[in-house]
Amino acid sequence: AYIRSPWNVLDFVIVVFSYLSFHPSVGNLTAFRTLRVMRPLRSMNAVRGLQVLVTGLLMSMKGLVHVGILTFFSVLICSILGVQLFGGKFRDQCYDPVAGEFMEEMWCNGDSTEPA
pLDDT tens sequence across 22-37: 777 766 666 776 777 7
- The answer to whether the CB of 32 falls within 8 A of the CB of 38 is no
Q: Is residue 94, in this structure, part of any structural domain at all?
A: no
Q: Is residue 18, in this structure, part of any structural domain at all?
A: yes
Cα R_g (the chain), whole angstroms:
30
Helix axes 48-59, 61-86, angle to 10 degrees: 50
Task: Report residue 86 CA to chain centroid gap.
Answer: 29
Q: Is residue 101, in this structure, part of any structural domain at all?
A: no
Q: Is residue 10, in this structure, part of any structural domain at all?
A: yes
Q: Is residue 59, in this structure, part of any structural domain at all?
A: no
Q: Is residue 100, in this structure, part of any structural domain at all?
A: no
Q: By residue range, what is the domain housing residue 41?
A: 1-45
Number of domains in the chain: 1
Asked whether the whole model's pTM tops 0.85, one would answer: no
**74, 78, 81, 86 alpha-carbon torsion, rounded to 10°:** -170
- The answer to whether the CB of 73 falls within 8 A of the CB of 66 is no
Helix (H) or strand (E) run with residue 96 in it: strand 95-96
Q: Is residue 34, in this structure, part of any structural domain at all?
A: yes
Convert the pLDDT of each residue in 52-103 to its tens digit.
888 888 899 999 999 999 999 999 999 999 999 988 777 666 777 777 777 7
Q: Is residue 29, in this structure, part of any structural domain at all?
A: yes
